[in-house]
Structure 1
Amino acid sequence: MVNINIVPPLIFIAFSAFPLLVNYFLKRKYKRLIEKLHETEDDYYHQFIFVSFINFDCRQHLIDKRECGEHCSYNYQQTLVRFMASAKSSICLCMYTFSMRDINVELIKAHKRGASVRIIADQIMLKTDVAKHNLTFLKNSGVPLKVQPNNQSMMHHKFCLIDKEDRDSAKMFFGSMNLTTQGLVSNFDNVVLTNNSTMIQRFSEEFEELWANF
């Protein structure tokens, strides 16, 4: 038989301890969430490229193939070239227009070493001499490509997926900049380079949808 004299103290202790227990478990849960968040954050990187006033004098640096500092347009160009050159299995380039010769060279190199290279561009590629030359050069080299067929709209994306099928090496870049000299030295533009898997998955879905419908 329970001694009724000890029931009130037990109830008091229980009520007093309950908030402490709830607080303890909530803190543990919060700590685990923070640790998980940090693990997620540490799991990917991002790098930014911003083209601004300091790049407007860098045109000659692209010709001379020399950099004037960390934020030089030539340094930015080589960052993107190396990014593409690192592709092991695939490159999916979706770009409104592009005219960088070094980018073309890397696309063809990747194609020749057996990587799957696919390109989606806008009709503007067929209307300007430099872009049309690039398109023809890539097509004649056997690189699969598709051009946005609708005259009433633009394929205005600017992104590139590298090894998107391989979780360990998948990465991408995206932003406002076309892969052109003007984009590097004349416009206010940006590029973000990352291996964030969530972003890669979403952009991959967009690329495959466009590829299937163009």
Structure 2
Amino acid sequence: MWVKWGAALLGATGAAAAAGACWWRWAGAGARAQRAAVNVLVTFDDSGFRCEQEIGAGGGGAGGACHHRYCCVHNLQRIVDFLDDARTCIDICVYIFSCDALAQAVKRAHDRGVVVRIITDFDMAYNNGSRICHFYEQGIKVKSKNSNNLMHHKFCIIDSPSRIGEIYSKNSNVTFMNYFLHKINQQHRGILVNGSLNWTNQAINGNWEHVLITSHLPIIKLFQSEFNEIWKTFKEFQPY
């Protein structure tokens, strides 16, 4: 039945070849790209600078971790890895964003075609070390609100199924092949990164912080709805 549907979209000529190629990509990508379920609590403490010193001195173990139970270098890399694994979209809602390692991961995602949106506090966008103006210059969409109240959220949603569906629904040129790639993406588990952590070097290297990383879809849906509501009410960021 899907072959007939594809022929209607692409025309009878070459439909079989296109359908076969699409099926190969669908089956192969679906088999190797499904994310495993994730429910992880990552914590940071005041040993962060000692972690960097120990690893820098050659004391790091496998995976760039030191002997500390909650090595900040290792735990930061876990968040970076999820950003690097983003396939379609990243929505970030953080009070302040100045951590270079996370900023570079966001830029890499943007450069490979991932749709990135960022919500941040208006005043903190101009804080020393903030990466927000750099994101704006790179063409990443940023929104904020000039207010006496704080935009104090700290969460990130990666490859939310509902957001993927929204992106594809706005594309009037969705082809037969893209349709099946979209169905694959719908099967991928989204990821929520949420907790007390501001995306700053100080928070990662010296504060007591927690981050919950989960693929639990009902929770992801709630946070995606919150992000969408703020996105609708905030204005596009414009540097001074």
Alignment of 1:193 onto 2:189 = no
Q: Which residue in the other structure is 1:78 paired with?
A: 77
Report if aligned partners of 2:95, 2:198 keep a CA contact under 8 Å in 1: yes
* Higher normalized contact order (CA 8 Å, seq sep 6+, divided by chain length): 2
Q: Distance in 2 between matches of 1:209 and 1:61?
A: 43
- Find 1:48's aligned residue among 38, 41, 45: 41
Q: Distance in 1 between matches of 2:53 and 2:145?
A: 33
Please report the TM-score for the alignment, with normalisation by the length of structure 1.
0.72
Q: Which residue in the other structure is 1:130 paired with?
A: 129
Report if aligned partners of 1:139, 1:145 keep a CA contact under 8 Å in 2: yes
Alignment of 1:177 onto 2:200 = no
The size of the alignment, in residue pairs, is 169
Root-mean-square deviation (Å)? 2.2
Report if aligned partners of 1:148, 1:154 keep a CA contact under 8 Å in 2: no
Please report the TM-score for the alignment, with normalisation by the length of structure 2.
0.65
Report if aligned partners of 1:97, 1:124 keep a CA contact under 8 Å in 2: no
Q: Distance in 2 between matches of 1:62 and 1:169?
A: 33
Q: Distance in 2 between matches of 1:62 and 1:139?
A: 33
Task: Please state how far the C-alpha of 1:61 moved relative to its aligned partner.
Answer: 5.9
Q: Which residue in the other structure is 1:157 paired with?
A: 153
Q: Distance in 2 between matches of 1:62 and 1:138?
A: 30
Identity %: 29
Counterpart residue identity of residue 117, structure 1: V
Report if aligned partners of 2:44, 2:71 keep a CA contact under 8 Å in 1: no
CA distance 1:61–1:183, shift in 2 (3 Å): farther
Q: Secondary structure at the match of 1:183?
A: helix
Task: Please state how far the C-alpha of 1:106 moved relative to its aligned partner.
Answer: 1.4
Report if aligned partners of 2:39, 2:212 keep a CA contact under 8 Å in 1: yes
Q: Distance in 2 between matches of 1:119 and 1:199?
A: 19
Task: Please state how far the C-alpha of 1:60 moved relative to its aligned partner.
Answer: 3.8
Q: Secondary structure at the match of 1:125?
A: helix
Q: Distance in 2 between matches of 1:52 and 1:104?
A: 21
Q: Distance in 2 between matches of 1:127 and 1:141?
A: 16
- Find 2:140's aligned residue among 140, 143, 158: 143
Q: Distance in 2 between matches of 1:87 and 1:103?
A: 13
Q: Distance in 2 between matches of 1:92 and 1:127?
A: 20
Cα deviation, 1:8-60, whole Å, max 9, x if unaligned, reads xxxxxxxxxxxxxxxxxxxxxxxxxxxxxxxxxxx943101112244353354
Q: Which residue in the other structure is 1:88 paired with?
A: 87
Report if aligned partners of 1:62, 1:73 keep a CA contact under 8 Å in 2: no
Q: Distance in 2 between matches of 1:47 and 1:186?
A: 21
Q: Secondary structure at the match of 1:82?
A: helix
Q: Which residue in the other structure is 2:222 paired with?
A: 202
CA distance 1:182–1:44, shift in 2 (3 Å): same
Task: Please state how far the C-alpha of 1:63 moved relative to its aligned partner.
Answer: 7.2
Cα deviation, 1:57-98, whole Å, max 9, x if unaligned, reads 335468789531352111011111001111000000001111
Counterpart residue identity of residue 157, structure 1: H
Listed as ranges, the gaps of 5+ residues in structure 1 are 1-42
Report if aligned partners of 1:96, 1:124 keep a CA contact under 8 Å in 2: no
Listed as ranges, the gaps of 5+ residues in structure 2 are 1-35, 162-185, 235-240
Cα deviation, 1:164-212, whole Å, max 9, x if unaligned, reads 0235231111000111111112211100000000110000000000000
Report if aligned partners of 1:123, 1:148 keep a CA contact under 8 Å in 2: yes
Question: Which moves more between the two structures, 158-167 or 201-210?
Answer: 158-167
Q: Distance in 1 between matches of 2:154 and 2:200?
A: 11
